[in-house]
Structure 1
Amino acid sequence: MRGANGLAGELSHLHADSAGPMCRCGARGCLGVVATTDHVLEAARPLFGPDVNIYDVLGLAAQGEATVRRVLDDFGRLVGRHLAPACVMLNPELIVVDGTLGPAAAPVMEGLHDGLRRHMPDGAYRALTLTLGRLAENAELLGAAHLARAPM
């Protein structure tokens, strides 16, 4: 789906926080500027110190560190809570989640499932499949190439 001006499916521009930071689209509090690595780090720094970075978080997730897994689960739950209304309206069969999450994928996906399950009708949730993308760093480039070749 392209939508009237090409923004269909741009879930990162769903409204998440009216007091949130400005987005490059001009709106305030879009999901893409609220649910970020900075959000994860804000939650992780009180637990692991002010110098923790996203690579530290991913390393701790790979080691199965329970507290960082909870931070990542909460992050997934936040995203799921804000995606749920779009899923109710559009009733998609599939959501593909960024495949570059690495060791953070499992707890983020668990939280995402939970956030969606809590904020969607049961039938719509059961009809939805969440999967990790397999294109990793090539996803944006391959998607752009596909769009360029697609008829308007």
Structure 2
Amino acid sequence: MRTSCTDSLKGRALTFRPTAEYEIFQQARIEQDTAPWRRRYGHRAGVEGTISQGVGAFGLRGSRYCGLAKTPLQHHFTGAATHLARIDAWLTGRPHARTRIHPSQHSAPLGEIQRGGIDQQRPEVPVGGGRVGVYGGASGMPPIT
């Protein structure tokens, strides 16, 4: 029976939280189903996309300079490059990258796809120069239709 539940040699481990902590988690889960929370989280997703683009396309995490004197300068140049890449994508009509789908959702029912639960409506368009045009959407630019 244990082989059908888990791959662990020790078996399954359950965590029972204290009542107060459990109630906090339950309240947080209820709050996550509200429209204001989803709006706030949508803003965070846009910021995460911006950071992802900076790291992936422009090397944001690494600095070419030693010390703190010129590192902020590189951050400013990276921000300017990100803005220029987004302006270029907007002016040339290059859409955002497709939303990636988790492998567990590949076989979702058609109704879920039609309701917009899984984003498969966007055409797959290659982004020029690797990852330059990939961004999360909080750029303030109108959506490309």
Which TM-score band (shorter chain)? under 0.3
Mark the structure with the bigger radius of gyration. 2
Larger strand proportion of the pair: 1
RCO greater where, 1 or 2, for CA within 8 Å and sep 6 or more?
Answer: 2
